[in-house]
Chain A
Amino acid sequence: MTDARTLPERGEWDGLAGELALGSLDGEELAAAETLQRREPGFALLVADWHVRLSPLAEAMSAIPPPAHILERVERVLPAVEPDPVGRFAMSLLNRLNAWRWAAAGLAAAAVVLAMIVAREVLLPLPQAERFVAVLGEGEQQPRFLVTVDLASRQVTVVAVQSIQPHDGDLELWLVRAETQPRSLGLIPSAGEARLPIGQDATTALLTGGLLAVSQEPRGGSPTGLPTGPVVFTGPLLPAPD
Chain B
Amino acid sequence: MAAVANGDRTAFRSLYAETSAKIYGVLVGLLGRNALAEECLQEVYVKVWHSAASYSIERGTVMTWLIAVARHRAIDLKRRERARGTQTALDEAVELADPGSEAAMEKVALAGEGRRLRDCLQQLEEQPRRCLLLAYWRGLTQEELARRLGQPLGTVKSWIRRSLQKLKDCLGP
Contact between A101 and B25 (Cβ–Cβ < 8 Å)?
no
Does A74 lie at the interface of the complex (its beta carbon under 8 Å from any beta carbon of B)? yes
Kindly specify which of A57-65, A153-161, A163-171, A215-223 makes contact with the partner chain: A57-65
Which residue, of B68, B97, B137, has the highest number of chain A Cβ atoms within 10 A? B68
Q: Which residues of B contact A58 (CB under 8 A)?
A: 22, 26, 63, 67, 71, 111, 136
Contact between B29 and A61 (Cβ–Cβ < 8 Å)?
yes
Contact between A114 and B29 (Cβ–Cβ < 8 Å)?
no
Q: Which residues of A contact B41 (CB under 8 A)?
A: 66, 70
In this complex, how many residues of chain A approach chain B with their Cβ under 8 Å: the count is: 60
| Docked complex Cα distance between A62 and B67 (Å) | 13
Contact between B2 and A15 (Cβ–Cβ < 8 Å)?
no
Q: Find the A residue at minimum CB distance from B145.
A: A24
Q: Find the B residue at minimum CB distance from A97.
A: B54
In this complex, how many residues of chain B approach chain A with their Cβ under 8 Å: the count is: 75
From A75, A77, A118, contact of B68 by CB (8 A): A118
Q: How far is the CB of B94 from chain A (nearest CB, A)?
A: 11
| Docked complex Cα distance between A52 and B57 (Å) | 16
Contact between A64 and B28 (Cβ–Cβ < 8 Å)?
yes
Does B46 lie at the interface of the complex (its beta carbon under 8 Å from any beta carbon of A)? yes
Q: Find the B residue at minimum CB distance from A15.
A: B161
Task: Indicate with 1 or 0, residue by residue over B100-124, a CB within 8 angstroms of chain A CB atoms.
Answer: 0000110111111110011000000
| Docked complex Cα distance between A102 and B118 (Å) | 25
Contact between A71 and B16 (Cβ–Cβ < 8 Å)?
yes
The answer to whether A98 and B20 touch (CB under 8 A), given A56-B117, A66-B38, is no
Q: How far is the CB of B153 from chain A (nearest CB, A)?
A: 10
Does A53 lie at the interface of the complex (its beta carbon under 8 Å from any beta carbon of B)? yes
Contact between B160 and A22 (Cβ–Cβ < 8 Å)?
yes
From A14, A23, A101, A116, contact of B71 by CB (8 A): A23
From B57, B97, B105, B114, contact of A98 by CB (8 A): B57
Q: Which residues of A contact B69 (CB under 8 A)?
A: 117-118
Contact between B164 and A19 (Cβ–Cβ < 8 Å)?
yes
Q: Find the A residue at minimum CB distance from B95.
A: A62
Does B80 lie at the interface of the complex (its beta carbon under 8 Å from any beta carbon of A)? no
Q: How far is the CB of A172 from chain B (nearest CB, A)?
A: 29
A residues 18-67 near B (Cβ < 8 Å) are: 18-19, 21-27, 30, 48, 50-67
Instruction: Knowing that A74-B16, A95-B53, A117-B65 touch, tell me 6 more A-B residue pairs with CB under 8 angstroms.
Output: A14-B165, A24-B141, A56-B111, A56-B117, A58-B26, A70-B42
A-B contact pairs, 20 of them (CB 8 A): A22-B132, A24-B141, A53-B171, A57-B136, A59-B107, A59-B110, A59-B114, A60-B107, A63-B24, A64-B21, A65-B21, A65-B24, A66-B21, A71-B13, A71-B45, A74-B45, A95-B2, A110-B64, A117-B65, A123-B47
